[in-house]
Amino acid sequence: MGYITLGRRLGRGTRIIVDRVGRQAQVAARQAAETARLAAETAQQKAPQYVAQRRAMAVGGKRFGQSFWKRLAHAGRTLWHEVTGVFFALFAVFFAQGMWRVHDAYLAGAEHEHFMLYLAMTILFTYFSVSAFVRSRRRPH
């Protein structure tokens, strides 16, 4: 078999293969176009349903977020007031201890200023502590 005959046969075989592949590609392209058209029609028909569903999800998510953050904020405020009340109570105890330490000298008259300062600070921080605990209990849910 000569080179020319071999080339013609290979060329003809190649053309046959290319034609078959081309026809298969055309069929696949038509099927893909038809599928895309059907999907677009279905999406257009269901678009109002999806919009309504999306709005419902948004409203539900917003309500959940509001209720969740409201509860979390309330718990955080309550905890903040209670921790603050404990710290104020610790300061009140510290000043009461200092007042007790100088109370004998106060009776003698030497530590009158220190005793009065410790007394005022004890009263002040006791008030702060009690008011913080009252605020933590008074907050509405």
Tens-place pLDDT, residues 2-28: 555 655 665 666 666 666 666 776 777
Mean pLDDT of the chain: 80
Concatenating the DSSP letter of every residue in 24-85 gives HHHHHHHHHHHHHHHHHHHHHHHHHHHHHHHHHHHHHHHHHHHHHHHHHHHHHHHHHHHHHH
Q: Band the pLDDT of 72: cuts 50, 70, 90.
A: confident
Q: What's the pLDDT at 129?
A: 95
The helix-helix angle for 112-138 and 3-108 (nearest 10°) equals 140
pLDDT tens sequence across 87-100: 999 999 999 999 98
pTM of the model as a whole: 0.52
**What residue ranges do the domains of the chain occupy?**
3-138
Q: What's the pLDDT at 120?
A: 95
pLDDT at residue 42 tops 90: no
pLDDT at residue 141 tops 60: no
Are the C-beta atoms of residues 118 and 102 closer than 8 Å to each other? yes
